[in-house]
Structure formats: structure tokens, C-alpha cells
Amino acid sequence: MIVAQVLRDVIIGHALTTWYKSVESLCSSRFDKRSGFSMDECIKIPDDFKGYPISQFCIPKHYEDDLECVIIPKGFVLDRTERLARDIFQNIDLTKPTAALCVLKGGYQFFNDLIHFLKQLNANTNRSCQLSIDFIRLKSYSDDQSTGTVRVIGGDDLSNLRGKNVLIVEDMIDTGRTMTKLLSVLEQYKPHTVNVASLLVKRTSRSVGYRPDYIGFEVPDHFLIGYALDYNEYFRDLNHIAILSSKAKEKYSSANIS
């Protein structure tokens, strides 16, 4: 009886210790106490995050009065992009060539930096993948609102995607309707695999629930500009990702710039 009691206590104690360590590990991996950002499948910027004052960054003079704050500095974007490139590279099916598909215009800066890091991995590790580049343009925004419809306004011949690994590179997933539409278009070309990398995913009640395979940052439901993200074609020349002010929305609205 005594031996059985001791064994039971040891087993229960070990189970509790294992459970505690697993919970502790889970919590530490999903929350960065220093930044307040949640760390799970991506870096999650909380809704109450106040951002960084624009006075601490190099902002083009013509935009200084148009921004509420910088929410993601360029250096942070680049570090996160480098890690995404490593994750993508580790998961690539090397038996097939890979076609990287950039969604223009907003995705070009993220696409350029992501491809740069993938090419570095291609050249400097003992693994490599044959990588090609293609482009498509879609339109789903008018001013600061997603229209709910997707209009294809440009793009190359996509028939060369047949049998390849396709990596779609997007700047931001908002409602998810645009990407859902693009994925349905690509099905007819019969690619080997399709994965989506998005720098940003917006937390919004308008979302259809779509989540890309690789996510840089999950962000609050603000209208973000910079790092090639635009508002009526303005702010693509801003290095950092920032929140657009209400005054600037009116200033650069289609009604005022047409």
C-alpha cells in the first residue's frame, strides 16, 4: 500500500509539473512582455497600442501633418520579413519550381524584400529552389473602404503557373474577399501548391474568416499607409507603416483630389 501510494504521488506530481511547464511555455511563446505584442502564428499588435510618435522618425515633410503615429517601423518590418522568408524556404517543396506572385501595387515593397531574403537563402544554404516572378493587379478599394467586389485591372499570363508551387505575396488581408477571389482564379491554372504570404492581416468584423499561410503582423482595424500601402495612390513613398489621420482622409479623398 505504501509503495503504491508513493508511486501514485510521483506520477501525479510529474503530471502536474509537465502540465505547468507546458502552460508556462505556451504563455511565454504567445506574449512578449516587453512590447505587449502577442506572439503566436504572427506578431499581434493589440487594439490599444498607441504607436510611436512621428517626431522620432524620418518622415517626408509633405506627410508630417497627415499621420497619427507610426505603428510598425521599417526596421521591424524587415526583421519580420526575414523570418517569414526562412519559414517559407523551409517549407518549400523542392521537387517543383516555385513561382512568386506579387499582388500589385501595395505588395511590391514587401514582395521585393521577401524575394531578397529568399534569394539569400537560395544562395547561402545547402537547399535551393528554382524561383520565378510574376505579377497581378486587383482593385477592391475606394478611398478607405473595401468595396466588397474585386476588379482585375491588370496581370500577366498565368498559364505558366501550372504544376508549380505558387507563393502569393500580398500587402494586407482586410476582409479576405480579394484573396479568396484570386485563389479561385488561380485554380483554373492547376498549380502544384498555393501558399499566401501577407505582411498584414487586419482584425475586422468585416472579415470572411480567411487566414493566409504566412502572416507578418495582425493589426487593429485602422487605415494603414506607408511601406507601399497607399490612400488613393498617396503615401507609397513613406518608409514606415503608419496610421492615417482623419484630417488626411478628407484631404486626400477622391472627391478632393479629382
**Ordered alpha helix ranges (H), 194-253:** 246-251
In single-letter form, the type of residue at position 189 comes to Y
174 carries an active-site annotation? yes
Spot the catalytic one: 87, 113, 174, 213. 174
Torsion-angle region of 119 (φ positive above 0: left; ψ -120 to 50: alpha; else: beta): alpha
User: Cα–Cα distance between 102 and 41 in angstroms, integer?
Assistant: 22
Does residue 205 contact residue 196 with C-beta atoms inside 8 Å? no
User: Cα–Cα distance between 33 and 73 in angstroms, integer?
Assistant: 19
CB hemisphere CA count around 4 (13 angstroms): 1
> Strand, coil or helix: what is 186?
helix
Name the phi and psi angles at 43, rounded to 5. -90, 120
CB atoms within 10 A of CB 69: 17
DSSP state of 176: S
Residues acting as catalytic residues: 174
